[in-house]
Amino acid sequence: MTARKMPAPKCPTCKRDVLPRQENPSFPFCSTRCRAVDLGKWLGEEYRVADRTPDEDEDGLMPPDGSSGELH
């Protein structure tokens, strides 16, 4: 069986190939510039993590008893 070489990961900012973690202190980005651009997007609220509704548990499902899961 021949081992296939995996393709190089792509920088999430500019989509260029990224060097492995051992050779690249900015991993998973290709450069410190792309790392800073990504941070700026998070700080500028261009990226957001969706908030849960009060009736969702961490897995997104309702509790088995149908309650909100909150302590009163």
30-69 pLDDT tens trace:
999 999 999 999 999 998 888 777 666 666 566 666 555 5
Please give the CATH architecture assigned to the domain spanning 9-46.
2-Layer Sandwich (3.30)
For residue 18, is pLDDT > 80?
Answer: yes
pLDDT at 63: 60
Q: Which are the contacts of 38, defined by CB distance < 8 A and separation ≥ 6?
A: 12, 13, 29
**Cα 35 to Cα 27: distance, rounded to the nearest angstrom:** 8
Residue 20: its pLDDT value, please? 92
- For residue 10, list its beta bridge partners: 17
Domain ranges, ordered by start, for the chain: 9-46
State the residue for tokens 């261009």. Answer: 46
Query: Are the CB atoms for 35 and 41 separated by under 8 Å?
Result: no
CB of 23 closer than 8 Å to CB of 42: no
Structure tokens at 25: 């202190």
